[in-house]
Amino acid sequence: MAEHELDARRLLCPMPVIRVQERIAKLESGDMLRVYCTDPGALLDIPAWCRVHGHRVLESGEHAGEVTLLIAVSGPAEDTH
């Protein structure tokens, strides 16, 4: 299990979600991904994408115009589909 970071600042919808999808595809089950965004829509879009794909958002918030999310990556064996 490792923690990774993704800087998606200054990207507009749908790019933060696409970057999360690309990065999670390279991670292992149990890894954590901390995402930094400036698109306020990411607070809704990324958790929705995570629910569909079986990943969990452990933390989310917005401070000073920056959105931060912490995602727990689930592997295919843990997928809800």
Per-residue CA distances from 81 to 7, 19, 30, 44, 45 (Å): 29, 22, 18, 21, 20
Respond yes or no: is residue 13 known to be catalytic.
Answer: yes
Residue 78 is predicted with a pLDDT of 43
The upper half-sphere exposure of residue 20, i.e. CA atoms within 13 Å in the direction of its Cβ, equals: 32
Residue 79 is predicted with a pLDDT of 40
pTM of the model: 0.90
What's the average model confidence in pLDDT over 56-62?
A: 97
Q: Which of 4, 9, 11, 13 is catalytic?
A: 13
Residue 79: what are its φ and ψ, rounded to 5°?
-60, 140
Band of pLDDT at residue 76, cut at 50, 70 and 90:
low
What's the average model confidence in pLDDT over 7-33?
A: 97
Band of pLDDT at residue 1, cut at 50, 70 and 90:
confident
Query: Reduced to 3 states, what is the DSSP secondary structure of residue 24?
Result: helix
